[in-house]
Amino acid sequence: MNKTSYEVLEFAKEINEFEFNKVDVLIAPSFVSLESLRKNLKDEIKLAGQNVSEFDDGAFTGEISTTMLKDIGVEDVIIGHSERREKFSESDEIINAKVKKALADDLSVILCLGESLEVKEEGKEIDFVRDELLKSLDGVDDLENLTIAYEPIWAIGTGKTCSSEDAENMCKEIRNIINEKYGEISQQIRILYGGSVKPSNAGEILSKENIDGVLVGGASLKASDFIEIIKAGENL
């Protein structure tokens, strides 16, 4: 939960001044800011919901439906963010239902995956991510509108860092897992890395073969920092 309505518009003004043509830029603000940003951001910048309900419209107080997102021109949604999994107890089964609902209603999905520090220290991170990925995609056959975001929970706000090599290795494993089940589409799926991405490390992360983009957290709150990260992608 960040930025008031005024702060969001000030952010948009700064971002609109920056020209880019090599990368895709997508912003996922709070739900209450989606419509105002849609009206005030230049067309090259897409918007995403931070979450979506697995249910249709109806008696689900506090939820946001796919219909509501699409009604204001939103075409993408983040599902399974680590904060949703940890703080709101969203299970793989709930994530799976949300993925199916969003894809069925023609939203593009950014599916987040990642292991905890405990899992990492036990050396079980690959098995954990494999299990999380396959459960989240259970019953999903068409991955055309799917993006995967690997966000190691242990590297977010903990002072611990995931090296670009470790990030690349896990993203490669994710691509291999997708290839085992879905075949050649694994080479077309975008795999993002999210874990304390900032201007100083974005270029190195984005240079890796199996990392197609970044899911930016705190560094995206300051427009100038976000622009520097976009520049890192433009300069590759």
Q: Which residues are catalytic?
A: 81, 151
d(CA 118, CA 32) in angstroms, rounded, equals 35
Nearest partner of 143 among 103, 171, 177, judged by Cα: 103
Annotated binding-site residue? 108: no
Q: Give Cα 4 to chain centroid, integer Å.
A: 22
- Do the beta carbons of residue 161 and residue 144 sit within 8 Å? no
Phi-psi region for residue 13, left (φ > 0), alpha (ψ -120 to 50) or beta? alpha
Annotated binding-site residue? 157: yes
d(CA 100, CA 97) in angstroms, rounded, equals 5
Annotated binding-site residue? 218: yes
Residues of each annotated binding site: 157, 196, 217-218
Residues of each annotated binding site for substrate: 157, 196, 217-218
